Amino acid sequence: MTPPRKAPPSRLGRGLSALIPDAPAADPANGTALRTLPVEALEPGPFQPRGGMDKASLDDLAASIRENGILQPILARPKPGTPGAYQIIGGERRWRAAQAAQLHEVPVVVREFGDREAMAAGLVENLQRQDLNAMEEAEGYRRLLDEFGLTQDGLGQSVGKSRSHVANTLRLLTLPPEVRNLVANGVLSAGHARTLVTAADPAALAAQIVARGLNVRQAEALAAAQGKPKAGAKDRARRDPDIAALERDLTERLGLRVALKPQGKGGEVVIHYRDFDQLDGLVRLLSGG
Protein backbone atom coordinates (compact mmCIF):
# COMPACT_ATOMS: atom_id res chain seq x y z
CA MET A 1 0.00 0.00 0.00
CA THR A 2 1.41 3.37 -1.00
CA PRO A 3 1.70 5.70 2.00
CA PRO A 4 -0.18 8.99 1.69
CA ARG A 5 1.85 11.83 0.23
CA LYS A 6 3.00 14.32 2.82
CA ALA A 7 2.17 17.95 2.32
CA PRO A 8 5.16 20.01 1.19
CA PRO A 9 6.68 22.20 3.91
CA SER A 10 5.31 25.73 4.05
CA ARG A 11 7.30 28.28 2.06
CA LEU A 12 6.46 30.92 4.63
CA GLY A 13 9.01 29.42 7.03
CA ARG A 14 10.58 31.85 9.50
CA GLY A 15 9.36 34.73 7.34
CA LEU A 16 5.80 34.69 8.64
CA SER A 17 6.85 33.80 12.19
CA ALA A 18 9.17 36.83 12.18
CA LEU A 19 6.12 39.01 11.52
CA ILE A 20 3.56 37.09 13.56
CA PRO A 21 5.22 35.14 16.41
CA ASP A 22 2.00 33.28 17.23
CA ALA A 23 0.95 32.56 13.62
CA PRO A 24 -0.88 29.21 13.65
CA ALA A 25 0.93 26.25 12.15
CA ALA A 26 -0.79 23.42 10.31
CA ASP A 27 -2.49 21.34 12.99
CA PRO A 28 -4.99 18.58 12.14
CA ALA A 29 -6.57 18.92 15.58
CA ASN A 30 -7.49 22.52 14.77
CA GLY A 31 -8.57 21.85 11.22
CA THR A 32 -5.54 23.49 9.62
CA ALA A 33 -4.17 20.42 7.82
CA LEU A 34 -3.89 19.84 4.09
CA ARG A 35 -7.28 19.15 2.52
CA THR A 36 -8.90 19.00 -0.91
CA LEU A 37 -11.58 21.58 -1.75
CA PRO A 38 -13.78 22.30 -4.78
CA VAL A 39 -12.41 25.17 -6.85
CA GLU A 40 -15.74 26.99 -6.50
CA ALA A 41 -15.35 27.04 -2.70
CA LEU A 42 -12.39 29.41 -3.08
CA GLU A 43 -12.25 33.07 -4.04
CA PRO A 44 -9.46 35.68 -4.27
CA GLY A 45 -8.60 37.23 -0.92
CA PRO A 46 -8.70 40.96 -0.21
CA PHE A 47 -4.96 41.21 0.48
CA GLN A 48 -3.55 40.13 -2.89
CA PRO A 49 -0.42 42.20 -3.74
CA ARG A 50 -0.58 41.31 -7.42
CA GLY A 51 -1.88 43.51 -10.16
CA GLY A 52 -2.95 41.79 -13.36
CA MET A 53 -1.89 38.26 -14.28
CA ASP A 54 -0.27 37.51 -17.62
CA LYS A 55 -2.50 35.21 -19.72
CA ALA A 56 0.40 33.46 -21.46
CA SER A 57 1.98 32.69 -18.09
CA LEU A 58 -1.32 31.35 -16.77
CA ASP A 59 -1.72 29.17 -19.87
CA ASP A 60 1.76 27.72 -19.32
CA LEU A 61 0.96 26.99 -15.68
CA ALA A 62 -2.37 25.41 -16.64
CA ALA A 63 -0.55 23.10 -19.08
CA SER A 64 1.90 22.10 -16.33
CA ILE A 65 -0.96 21.44 -13.91
CA ARG A 66 -2.73 19.24 -16.44
CA GLU A 67 0.48 17.23 -16.77
CA ASN A 68 1.73 17.15 -13.17
CA GLY A 69 -1.07 18.40 -10.94
CA ILE A 70 -0.68 21.15 -8.33
CA LEU A 71 2.62 20.51 -6.56
CA GLN A 72 2.21 23.20 -3.90
CA PRO A 73 -1.07 23.62 -2.01
CA ILE A 74 -3.02 26.85 -1.99
CA LEU A 75 -3.04 28.76 1.32
CA ALA A 76 -6.50 29.97 2.38
CA ARG A 77 -8.58 31.01 5.36
CA PRO A 78 -12.30 30.53 6.07
CA LYS A 79 -14.25 33.45 4.64
CA PRO A 80 -15.55 35.50 7.57
CA GLY A 81 -19.30 35.10 7.92
CA THR A 82 -19.66 32.58 5.07
CA PRO A 83 -19.49 28.92 6.13
CA GLY A 84 -18.01 26.61 3.51
CA ALA A 85 -16.31 29.45 1.60
CA TYR A 86 -12.60 30.28 1.69
CA GLN A 87 -10.44 33.28 0.79
CA ILE A 88 -7.13 32.67 -0.93
CA ILE A 89 -4.11 34.07 0.90
CA GLY A 90 -1.39 32.59 -1.30
CA GLY A 91 -1.77 30.76 -4.60
CA GLU A 92 -4.40 32.69 -6.57
CA ARG A 93 -2.41 32.13 -9.75
CA ARG A 94 -2.41 28.36 -9.15
CA TRP A 95 -6.16 28.47 -8.46
CA ARG A 96 -6.89 30.32 -11.71
CA ALA A 97 -4.63 28.00 -13.69
CA ALA A 98 -6.34 24.98 -12.10
CA GLN A 99 -9.68 26.26 -13.40
CA ALA A 100 -8.18 26.71 -16.86
CA ALA A 101 -6.92 23.13 -16.63
CA GLN A 102 -10.51 22.08 -15.75
CA LEU A 103 -9.65 20.70 -12.32
CA HIS A 104 -12.64 20.34 -10.04
CA GLU A 105 -10.70 20.15 -6.78
CA VAL A 106 -7.43 21.62 -5.51
CA PRO A 107 -5.16 20.95 -2.49
CA VAL A 108 -5.54 23.64 0.16
CA VAL A 109 -4.02 24.40 3.55
CA VAL A 110 -6.65 26.26 5.58
CA ARG A 111 -5.55 28.44 8.48
CA GLU A 112 -7.49 30.62 10.88
CA PHE A 113 -5.95 34.00 10.07
CA GLY A 114 -7.34 37.39 11.02
CA ASP A 115 -7.12 40.26 8.55
CA ARG A 116 -3.70 41.45 9.72
CA GLU A 117 -2.19 37.94 9.68
CA ALA A 118 -3.81 37.21 6.30
CA MET A 119 -2.25 40.31 4.77
CA ALA A 120 1.19 39.44 6.13
CA ALA A 121 0.94 35.83 4.99
CA GLY A 122 -0.21 36.81 1.49
CA LEU A 123 2.57 39.35 1.06
CA VAL A 124 5.31 37.07 2.40
CA GLU A 125 4.14 34.10 0.32
CA ASN A 126 4.15 36.13 -2.88
CA LEU A 127 7.43 37.90 -2.12
CA GLN A 128 9.20 34.62 -1.39
CA ARG A 129 7.89 33.09 -4.63
CA GLN A 130 9.68 35.85 -6.61
CA ASP A 131 6.89 36.10 -9.18
CA LEU A 132 5.80 39.68 -8.54
CA ASN A 133 6.96 42.50 -10.78
CA ALA A 134 9.34 45.05 -9.25
CA MET A 135 6.62 47.58 -8.42
CA GLU A 136 4.38 44.96 -6.79
CA GLU A 137 7.40 43.84 -4.77
CA ALA A 138 8.14 47.41 -3.68
CA GLU A 139 4.52 48.03 -2.68
CA GLY A 140 4.54 44.75 -0.75
CA TYR A 141 7.65 45.81 1.17
CA ARG A 142 6.14 49.20 1.97
CA ARG A 143 2.93 47.63 3.26
CA LEU A 144 4.86 45.25 5.50
CA LEU A 145 7.00 48.10 6.86
CA ASP A 146 3.97 50.30 7.49
CA GLU A 147 1.80 47.58 9.06
CA PHE A 148 4.38 45.82 11.20
CA GLY A 149 6.94 48.51 12.00
CA LEU A 150 9.89 46.42 10.84
CA THR A 151 13.35 47.70 10.06
CA GLN A 152 14.63 47.01 6.56
CA ASP A 153 16.96 44.41 8.09
CA GLY A 154 14.04 42.66 9.76
CA LEU A 155 11.96 42.79 6.61
CA GLY A 156 14.83 41.34 4.59
CA GLN A 157 15.11 38.43 7.01
CA SER A 158 11.37 37.76 6.86
CA VAL A 159 11.33 37.47 3.06
CA GLY A 160 14.81 36.01 2.54
CA LYS A 161 16.36 39.11 0.93
CA SER A 162 19.32 41.32 1.81
CA ARG A 163 18.75 44.72 3.37
CA SER A 164 20.30 46.39 0.33
CA HIS A 165 17.87 44.57 -1.98
CA VAL A 166 14.93 45.72 0.13
CA ALA A 167 16.25 49.31 0.24
CA ASN A 168 16.92 49.45 -3.50
CA THR A 169 13.50 48.04 -4.28
CA LEU A 170 11.76 50.55 -1.99
CA ARG A 171 13.56 53.35 -3.81
CA LEU A 172 11.54 52.50 -6.92
CA LEU A 173 8.51 54.01 -5.17
CA THR A 174 10.16 57.44 -5.47
CA LEU A 175 9.84 57.30 -9.27
CA PRO A 176 7.06 59.35 -10.92
CA PRO A 177 3.81 57.47 -11.68
CA GLU A 178 4.40 57.25 -15.43
CA VAL A 179 7.75 55.54 -14.87
CA ARG A 180 6.33 53.17 -12.25
CA ASN A 181 3.67 52.16 -14.77
CA LEU A 182 6.35 51.33 -17.36
CA VAL A 183 8.05 49.06 -14.80
CA ALA A 184 4.79 47.45 -13.68
CA ASN A 185 3.85 46.72 -17.31
CA GLY A 186 7.23 45.19 -18.12
CA VAL A 187 8.28 47.94 -20.53
CA LEU A 188 11.24 48.74 -18.27
CA SER A 189 13.06 46.23 -16.07
CA ALA A 190 13.90 46.66 -12.39
CA GLY A 191 17.49 47.32 -13.48
CA HIS A 192 16.35 50.18 -15.70
CA ALA A 193 14.23 51.53 -12.86
CA ARG A 194 17.15 51.57 -10.40
CA THR A 195 19.11 53.61 -12.93
CA LEU A 196 16.29 56.15 -13.06
CA VAL A 197 15.92 56.67 -9.30
CA THR A 198 18.72 59.22 -9.00
CA ALA A 199 18.17 60.85 -12.41
CA ALA A 200 17.35 64.56 -12.48
CA ASP A 201 14.36 63.89 -14.78
CA PRO A 202 13.42 60.20 -14.53
CA ALA A 203 10.43 60.48 -16.89
CA ALA A 204 12.45 62.08 -19.68
CA LEU A 205 15.28 59.58 -19.29
CA ALA A 206 12.79 56.69 -19.26
CA ALA A 207 11.26 57.95 -22.50
CA GLN A 208 14.71 57.97 -24.13
CA ILE A 209 15.47 54.45 -22.90
CA VAL A 210 12.21 53.10 -24.30
CA ALA A 211 12.46 54.98 -27.61
CA ARG A 212 16.02 53.82 -28.20
CA GLY A 213 15.53 50.30 -26.83
CA LEU A 214 18.50 50.60 -24.47
CA ASN A 215 19.58 47.75 -22.22
CA VAL A 216 20.46 48.39 -18.58
CA ARG A 217 24.17 49.04 -19.17
CA GLN A 218 23.37 51.48 -21.97
CA ALA A 219 20.80 53.19 -19.75
CA GLU A 220 23.39 53.52 -16.97
CA ALA A 221 25.85 55.08 -19.40
CA LEU A 222 23.21 57.53 -20.64
CA ALA A 223 22.25 58.49 -17.09
CA ALA A 224 25.91 59.01 -16.16
CA ALA A 225 26.49 61.19 -19.23
CA GLN A 226 23.47 63.35 -18.44
CA GLY A 227 24.56 63.69 -14.83
CA LYS A 228 28.02 65.07 -15.62
CA PRO A 229 28.64 68.74 -14.71
CA LYS A 230 28.66 71.16 -17.61
CA ALA A 231 31.94 72.35 -19.08
CA GLY A 232 33.40 75.27 -17.16
CA ALA A 233 31.83 74.29 -13.85
CA LYS A 234 33.76 75.43 -10.80
CA ASP A 235 35.67 73.16 -8.44
CA ARG A 236 32.62 73.12 -6.17
CA ALA A 237 30.87 70.94 -8.76
CA ARG A 238 33.50 68.22 -8.34
CA ARG A 239 32.15 65.47 -6.16
CA ASP A 240 34.13 64.40 -3.11
CA PRO A 241 34.03 60.58 -3.21
CA ASP A 242 33.34 60.42 0.55
CA ILE A 243 30.40 62.81 0.19
CA ALA A 244 29.08 60.83 -2.77
CA ALA A 245 29.34 57.59 -0.78
CA LEU A 246 27.44 59.16 2.13
CA GLU A 247 24.74 60.37 -0.26
CA ARG A 248 24.33 56.86 -1.68
CA ASP A 249 24.16 55.32 1.79
CA LEU A 250 21.57 57.82 3.05
CA THR A 251 19.52 57.45 -0.14
CA GLU A 252 19.52 53.67 0.29
CA ARG A 253 18.58 53.83 3.97
CA LEU A 254 15.79 56.38 3.58
CA GLY A 255 14.48 55.26 0.21
CA LEU A 256 14.55 58.93 -0.87
CA ARG A 257 17.16 60.80 -2.89
CA VAL A 258 19.54 62.67 -0.57
CA ALA A 259 21.99 65.43 -1.57
CA LEU A 260 24.76 66.73 0.70
CA LYS A 261 25.93 70.29 0.09
CA PRO A 262 29.12 71.12 2.07
CA GLN A 263 29.52 74.78 2.97
CA GLY A 264 32.73 75.55 4.82
CA LYS A 265 32.79 73.48 8.02
CA GLY A 266 29.06 72.79 7.79
CA GLY A 267 26.60 72.28 5.01
CA GLU A 268 23.08 71.21 4.08
CA VAL A 269 21.29 67.88 3.82
CA VAL A 270 18.60 67.97 1.12
CA ILE A 271 16.06 65.14 1.06
CA HIS A 272 13.90 64.96 -2.04
CA TYR A 273 10.31 63.67 -1.83
CA ARG A 274 7.60 63.51 -4.48
CA ASP A 275 4.35 63.53 -2.50
CA PHE A 276 2.86 63.92 0.96
CA ASP A 277 2.92 60.17 1.62
CA GLN A 278 6.70 60.11 1.21
CA LEU A 279 7.07 63.16 3.45
CA ASP A 280 4.80 61.62 6.07
CA GLY A 281 6.83 58.40 5.98
CA LEU A 282 10.06 60.36 6.41
CA VAL A 283 8.66 62.29 9.39
CA ARG A 284 7.55 59.05 11.05
CA LEU A 285 10.97 57.50 10.41
CA LEU A 286 12.86 60.47 11.86
CA SER A 287 10.56 60.66 14.87
CA GLY A 288 10.89 56.97 15.59
CA GLY A 289 7.18 56.33 14.90
- pLDDT digits 0-9 by tens, 252-268: 777 788 888 888 778 88
pLDDT band at 237 (very low <50, low <70, confident <90, very high): very low
Residue 71's domain comprises: 13-129
Residue 205 lies in a domain: yes
β-strand partners of 105: 38
What confidence tier does 124 reach under pLDDT thresholds 50, 70, 90? confident
Q: In the chain, what are the helix, strand and coil shares in percent, each to the nearest 5? A: 55, 10, 35
Number of domains in the chain: 3
Let me know whether 37 and 125 are in one domain.
yes
Based on the fold, state whether residues 99 and 54 are members of the same structural domain.
yes
Evaluate the CA torsion angle 221, 226, 231, 234 in order and state its sign: negative
Q: Is the model's pLDDT at 49 over the cut of 70? A: no
Q: Which tens digit of pLDDT belongs to each residue from 152-193?
A: 887 787 777 888 888 889 999 999 999 999 998 889 998 999
* 211 and 242 part of one domain: no
222 with 257, same domain: the answer is no
User: Which of 43, 67, 92, 268 is flagged as catalytic?
Assistant: 92
Q: Is 252 a catalytic residue?
A: no
CA–CA gap between residue 42 and residue 84 (Å, rounded): 9
Domain-terminating residue out of 209, 228, 247: 228
